[in-house]
Each structure stands twice: as structure tokens, then as C-alpha cells.
Amino acid sequence: MINKTESAKIGILCWETGQVPRGLQQLESLRGNSTNPASYGYPVRLHPVRGANVHTILENPDQTVLGTMIADARTMVSEGIKAITTSCGFNAIFQRELVESVGVPVFTSSLLQVPLARRICGLQSEICIITANAGALRPEHLTSVGIAGTDGLHILGLEQCAEWNRMFAEPDAEIDLDVIEQEVLGTARRALDEHPGIRAFALECTDLPPYSAAIRRQSGLPVFDFITMVNYLHSTL
């Protein structure tokens, strides 16, 4: 239960209001989603960033939007926020710039947990990253969060899933959340079928934690996601 007298320690930089596709708004209603306050056992501060959307963050990381993020993060810090995170794992590409600019801990993406997963599962272990879009996940995203090399790293994107893709191809359309869940679980099954040596999953997308428990049950493996990261780091504050 949230202590109503506790002030937020973590600020979350979110996409601009009005720039979120209808399907992603549906996903935001699920407990576990990064922008759903019910996902946390403590207060967080959600802050929409002007200009931040699927095009400027996921498809073509925009330096102007990064500048706005830095300014907004500094404002939150001046108001008492102790750490900064974001509502999209593709902000991993901005990890270095943000952490060097705002003066408090910054954890842009659940991908920061991949080096940890490798250490605790064995340096030669295989790790699967499930991402919103594998084609958009560049080497720069990985190196920015300390992922050195891709040996043993399997990246599977949900852009191959029809219902998931509808969120972006038809941004005003509603999606079937039950189908989305099956697509996510099917992607995890496919990963293990193709790479039985996988020892852990890391979910890049901040919309995927609502499905983490189902992936754990299905696979019997650890699943690192946005919520596991934020809960752990909140405990350090």
C-alpha cells in the first residue's frame, strides 16, 4: 500500500500527451505498465515531455527532444526528485547524456539489467531480449547501457506480431489485449524453441511487464523488466 504522506522520489519522463497510439493507451491501463501509478507500491511522478513520441524516441532518436528531457529532468530534481527514469526502453540511447546532465541516478531502460543477468546466470549464458521493435534496437542502445557484445544475446522483436503492429499501423484503432498477450508469450516460446540455451529474459518495452509473470510461469526462467528495475532502484533511495 502506498504511504499517502510519502513524496515521490522517482520521476518518469513520458511521451507527450496526445502522442500515444490508442493501443498503447489500452496497454497503459494494465497494472505493471510503466505509466500506470497502480504498478508501484510507492509514489512516482509522471512527466510528459514535449515532442517525445514513437517517431522521436523509437524510430529516430531526436537530439532536440533529448535536450527537452534534460531540462525537464533538471526541473524535477530541483523540486526534490531523487532519480530519473523513462517510459520507453529505447531511451537507452540517451543514458549517458542524461546521467551526465542531471546530477542524480538515471536508469533509462530495463536493458540496464542485461549485464546483471549475464553475471548472475553465467558470463557464457544466453539471454533473450524481447523488444517492441528489433529493427529499431541499434548497437548504440546496447553499448549505452553497458552491454558489451552480442554473443549469446538473442533479440526478438514484436514487430513480427500482427496485433502488436496494428498499434502503430492504425494508431486510432483499438487492439485485442488477449491477442497481444498470446503474441508476447508466443514470442517467448519461439525464443526458447530456437535457442534452448536461454537462461533469462529481459523485456525492453515498458508495456510488457504485465506479461512478465506469465513468461516466468511458461518458461521457468527469470524475467527482468522495467518494474523489477524500478523497484530495485527505488529501494536504494
Spatial contact of 65 and 56, defined as CB atoms under 8 Å apart: yes
Q: Please, what sign has the CA dihedral across residues 3, 4, 9, 13?
A: positive
For residue 50, the model assigns a pLDDT of: 96
Spatial contact of 126 and 198, defined as CB atoms under 8 Å apart: yes
Strand order in the sheet with 198-203: 153-157, 126-131, 198-203, 223-224
Spatial contact of 203 and 233, defined as CB atoms under 8 Å apart: no
For residue 5, the model assigns a pLDDT of: 41
For residue 2, the model assigns a pLDDT of: 53
Which stretches of the chain score pLDDT less than 70?
1-5
CA atoms within 13 A on the CB side of 189: 9
Please give the helix or strand (H or E) that residue 46 lies within, else none: strand 44-48
For residue 207, the model assigns a pLDDT of: 96
Q: Is residue 5 classed as helix, strand or coil in its secondary structure?
A: coil
- Number of alpha helices (DSSP H) and beta strands (DSSP E) in the chain: 9, 8
| Of the candidates 133, 87, 131, the residue with the CA atom closest to the CA atom of residue 230 | 87
Give the bridge partners for 223, in sequence order: 201
Separation between Cα atoms, residue 148 and residue 142, nearest integer Å: 8
Spatial contact of 27 and 210, defined as CB atoms under 8 Å apart: yes
For residue 1, the model assigns a pLDDT of: 45
